[in-house]
């Protein structure tokens, strides 16, 4: 009887150690699968994922990192007050920066007044990209890229090249269209 009890304790102890290693490996795997995301940010995103689906790029141009997660999510937060912005940035030559955001929309979403530059087929569905679109007067909107809303589960997301919504900020450089397309095609559910 004592041998069985002792054996059970040893097995449970080993199971606890293995479980901890698997959990740690899961955090590292998420960091590898979704580059630029720190272990702390992975935990934040796992918390957000309890309320809404999350989408992240599995490919980033060199130097990009998830710089900030702005979220107001909880089951008790009214849908019209919910928000989620996943902001990536990198510094490039001469102190210039590049930034994009993946933003979730929860209520009252409308379409954009721009024609799609390209429709991309991705693993999460089709995404309409407006890369330097033309405005209502036919003028090209320089240094601006955005996508139409696309669904990830029951949550709509879109990509915005410039987080502040000011297309001509000094010191801000756009990603190339090729990199933007590659990034969008790499989007996967977290």
* Distances, alpha carbon 95 to alpha carbons 92, 98, 177, in Å: 6, 10, 21
The predicted-structure confidence for 117-147, as pLDDT tens digits, reads as follows 999 999 999 999 999 999 888 898 888 999 9
Distance separating alpha carbons of residues 182 and 120, to the nearest angstrom: 10
Q: Which residue has the higher pLDDT, 57 or 31?
A: 57
The predicted-structure confidence for 132-190, as pLDDT tens digits, reads as follows 999 888 898 888 999 999 999 999 999 998 645 455 566 778 899 999 999 999 999 99
Give start and end residues of each alpha helix (H) in 34-137: 39-49
User: pLDDT at position 31, please?
Assistant: 52
Domain extent listing, the chain: 1-33, 35-189
**Beta carbons within 10 angstroms of residue 50's beta carbon:** 9
The predicted-structure confidence for 16-45, as pLDDT tens digits, reads as follows 444 444 444 444 455 569 999 999 999 999
Distance separating alpha carbons of residues 71 and 77, to the nearest angstrom: 11
* Distances, alpha carbon 59 to alpha carbons 24, 106, 135, in Å: 22, 26, 30
User: pLDDT at position 173, please?
Assistant: 84
User: pLDDT at position 158, please?
Assistant: 95
């Amino acid at each position: 009887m004592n041998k069985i009890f002792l054996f059970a304790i040893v097995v449970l102890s080993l199971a606890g150690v293995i479980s901890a290693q698997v959990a740690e490996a899961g955090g590292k795997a998420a960091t590898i699968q979704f580059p630029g995301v720190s272990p702390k940010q992975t935990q934040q995103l796992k918390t957000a994922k309890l309320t809404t689906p999350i989408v992240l790029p599995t490919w980033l141009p060199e130097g990009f990192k998830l710089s900030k997660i702005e979220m107001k999510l909880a089951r008790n937060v009214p849908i019209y007050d919910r928000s989620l912005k996943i902001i990536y940035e990198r510094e490039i030559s001469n102190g210039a920066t590049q930034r994009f955001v993946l933003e979730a929309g929860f209520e009252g979403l409308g379409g954009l007044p721009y024609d799609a530059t390209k429709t991309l087929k991705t693993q999460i569905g089709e995404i309409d990209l407006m890369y330097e679109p033309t405005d209502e007067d036919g003028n090209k909107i320089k240094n601006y890229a955005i996508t139409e809303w696309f669904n990830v589960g029951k949550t709509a997301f879109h990509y915005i090249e410039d987080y502040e919504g000011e297309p001509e900020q000094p010191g801000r450089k756009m990603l190339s269209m090729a990199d933007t397309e590659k990034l969008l095609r790499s989007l996967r559910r977290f």
